[in-house]
Structure formats: C-alpha cells, structure tokens
Amino acid sequence: MKTMKIWSILLLTIILLPLIVSCGGDSNSDSEPDSGPLVNKPTLSVEKASIIFDSNNSSFDIIVTAENTSWSVDVTKGSDWLSANKNGTNVSISTKENPNTEDREGTVVVTAASDPKLSCSIIVTQKGAKAYISVNETNIAEHSFPGSFDYGKNGADYKQAFKIKSNVQWTLLGMVEWLNVSATSGNGDVELSIYPTSENPRPSPRTAELSLSSNGAESVTIYITQLGGNQNQKLIAKLIEEEGSTIYETVFSYDSQGRVVKAVKTESSATSTNSYGERTYQYGELTIISKEVVEGSYSNGQTFKRSESHSYSLENGIIVKDVEIYSWSYSYNGITGGNNSTTTSSYSYDSNGYLASVSGTKIAWTGGNLTSIGEREFTYTNIPWNKGMFFTFNGTNMDSCLWPSGYWGNTPKYMPSQDTYKKMTYNYEISNGLITKVTITNNNTGDITYISTIVWE
C-alpha cells in the first residue's frame, strides 16, 4: 500500500509538470557535470506561451517567473502592430487595431539577462476585423440629379461625391448607361464620384440602384434618381413663322409637366387673319394621341378640310411607333374630292438613348449631334441646343413639339447650321442664352425662305 501511494504521487507530479511553460536554454549546458548540489542556477518561465486577441486595440499582462536572474522583453515579429513592455514581474502585451479581415501573428520573447540562451517565446495571434463596406458612414445613400441641365452646363457640372470606406475589395453592380461612375471596384477609403452623362430624354424620372458588393461584407446601396427631362426647361409661348407674305402664329399651352397639350395656329396676310388649325395632345402611360384639324378657303372660293391624327406607342417612355391617319377633302363649285391614307413609322434607339433608325432608315450621331438620316447630312454650329426648342429634322416624320420632352430620345448637343441635302443654312439670333429667331436661307439662290421668331415664357 505504501508503495502504491508513492507511485501515485510521482504520477501526479509528471502530469502537472507540463503546465509550467518551459523556456529554452540552460545556463550550465556548457559546464562539466557537477556532482554537488546546483547553487544559484537561473530559471525563467511565463504564465502563457500563447494568447489570442480580438481585432480591437487590446492589452494583456502575462506573469513572468524568474529566479536568480533579471529579464528583458522584445517583439521579434509583428512590431508594426504589436508591443511588449516589462511591468514589474509581468510582461504587458498590447495590440493596435487590425483593420484587415485576415488574422495576423506576432512573437514576444522574454530573455534572461544572465544567460541569453535562456528565453521564453509567447505567440500572439490577433483576429481579423469583421469585413465591412460603408457609404457616407452608413449602408444606404441617395441622390437626385436634374433631368435637364442649365444653359451651358453638362452632366459633369452636377457631379456628386460619395465617401466609401471598406476593408475588403468591392465591386460596383447595377451600372446604367446614363451614369458616369469614377470607379467600379476598390478597397480602403475611396471617393466615388457619380454624374449623369446625358439629360433625361423622358418626362418621367429614371432610377438606378448601385450596389457595392464583396465576399464576406454586407452590401451597401446607392439609390440614384434623375428627374424628368423637362425640369428647369424654358417653354415656348409663341412661334411666329414667316413664309413670303404669309405669317403663321402658333400659341402653345402646357400641362404641369411642361408638355404641350394644345397648339392653336392662325394665318394672316396683308388683308386678313384666319384660324388655321388646332392640334391637341393626350398623354397616357403607353400612348400619346395627337389630333389636328385645319379648315380654310382659297381666293377662288374653294374650301378645304384637313385632319391628321397620330397614335404614338411608348416603350420606357420613348416613342417606338407612330400610326398616322390623314384625311383631306375639298369642295369647289359643287365638286367635292379628297383622299385618305394611313402611314406607320417605327423608331429604334441605341443603348445611350439616341434615335438610331426611322422605319429602317439609319440615323448617325457624332459627338452628340445628329449628323445623317439616310442620305441627308447635317452640320452644326457651336450654339448649345436650347431646352424646350421645337425643331424637326427632314426625314424623321417627328412632331417637333414632342422632342423637347424626350419622347424621341436625346436631342442634339448643338443647333444645326446646314442641311446639305435640302441645301439650307440655319442662322440664329440669341438673347439671354435663348434662341429668339431662326432664319433659313436657300444655299442655291441665297433667298431667305423661312423666318421663325420664338417667344419664350
């Protein structure tokens, strides 16, 4: 029984010994064996051989037990984020915040002063930070751009900056063709600049949902809205057209969205003024209906009536088809006649919102200007296209009153100077940044064929 007790004590001692962190080195390792008792032999041990910190600024004290020697402490790995100092019988270990998502490891070494070979290593592990992305210090941001730009300005003049912070690589998703974004990926602190590349060709707002996504971090979202394209737009109150001795005057009425709802036209000459016709517009979500009726008489007594209606089909707020119904009738000395016709036109657009073809006839754009429609070619001035300007290019069969509201996509950047096919030159008068008169000259004869005076609201 006594023998069993002795063996139990020995076994317990063997189990407990590993709990004491041993340190490398032996101050007498090079000495000859000494048969006498060991006197004043230095010993060194630490409470822990490893420690794990979270990603924040942290500190912890580890007890150092030293006999017959003093000691010092050094950081041998990770000194850019890890520090260690002697604090009485403890070693104080501190970490800086880990901004990265990966764990990192450092080493602290405690060394006996009496024997450099006698040392203890402490392995320090710091956990990586939680992956994150933020925009303007939050996870959602919003911004609205005007649908139409002020005179002389372009989209870059409305640039908006967003402050992005992250500790992971992110990728921008949800890009649209009408936005310019300064970066589509990044990491760390980034200033993300966004602006519209073009005016909104539609009267209704358009939106984009941009998401910054990564592996491991919660996505953040930037919601962008561009208001309807008739915002900040001047409206034409009256148009006076001179063709020879005849003058046509059209007065326009608008709805709350700046769209033409009525155009009343009168005709006058040196001897009389007559009602020439009225055109009305009805706007729906998928269609626009315009109707015009013109009635009049000639000096020989002949009377006539002309009616024209258009049913425009919309996709994403842009006209893709026009069904025109035309009717003309006359009466003279008891004889009546006339004709009727139906014409369908189709319109397609490129990815940037520019008109690309009309019933199969290709349209070309250069530098933001419409330069050709089939065989018809156009050159341009350096006069910016006025917002709300009524203008129709020959060969498109477009209603000039609808283009300012973006129903045929983007308008040109500048005003045209020549129609080389029709051999016409356009000249403009400008007041306070707005075109107030357009004069059209025949290139062959040099004669003025048309003068249009524009009265803005």
Q: What is the pLDDT of residues 45-55, one digit of tens each?
A: 999 999 999 99
Is residue 457's pLDDT more than 90?
A: no
**pLDDT > 70 in the chain, percent:** 88
Give the model's confidence band at 2: pLDDT under 50 very low, under 70 low, under 90 confident, else very high. Answer: very low
Give the model's confidence band at 30: pLDDT under 50 very low, under 70 low, under 90 confident, else very high. Answer: very low
Average of per-residue pLDDT across 32-60: 81
Is residue 86's pLDDT more than 60?
A: yes
Average of per-residue pLDDT across 363-380: 90
> What is the C-alpha to C-alpha distance for residues 348 and 359, in angstroms, rounded to an integer?
8
Looking at residue 25, its pLDDT comes to 60
> What is the C-alpha to C-alpha distance for residues 249 and 268, in angstroms, rounded to an integer?
8
Looking at residue 4, its pLDDT comes to 41
Q: Which residues pair with 372 in a beta bridge?
A: 364, 377
CB atoms near residue 164 (< 10 Å): 23
For 199, phi and psi rounded to 5 degrees?
-70, 155
Structural domains of the chain, ranges and CATH numbers in brackets: 42-129 (2.60.40.3450), 133-226 (2.60.40.10), 236-456 (2.40.160.190)
Looking at residue 110, its pLDDT comes to 95
Is residue 14's pLDDT more than 60?
A: no
| Chain mean pLDDT for the chain | 84
Looking at residue 338, its pLDDT comes to 87
Looking at residue 380, its pLDDT comes to 93
Contacts for 217 with CB less than 8 Å, ≥ 6 apart:
131, 132, 133, 166, 167, 168, 170
Q: Which of 79, 64, 69, 84 is nearest to 116 (CA)?
A: 69
Between 404 and 428, where is the model more confident? 428
Is residue 231's pLDDT more than 80?
A: no
Is residue 205's pLDDT more than 90?
A: no
Is residue 1's pLDDT more than 60?
A: no
Looking at residue 445, its pLDDT comes to 80
pTM of the model: 0.54
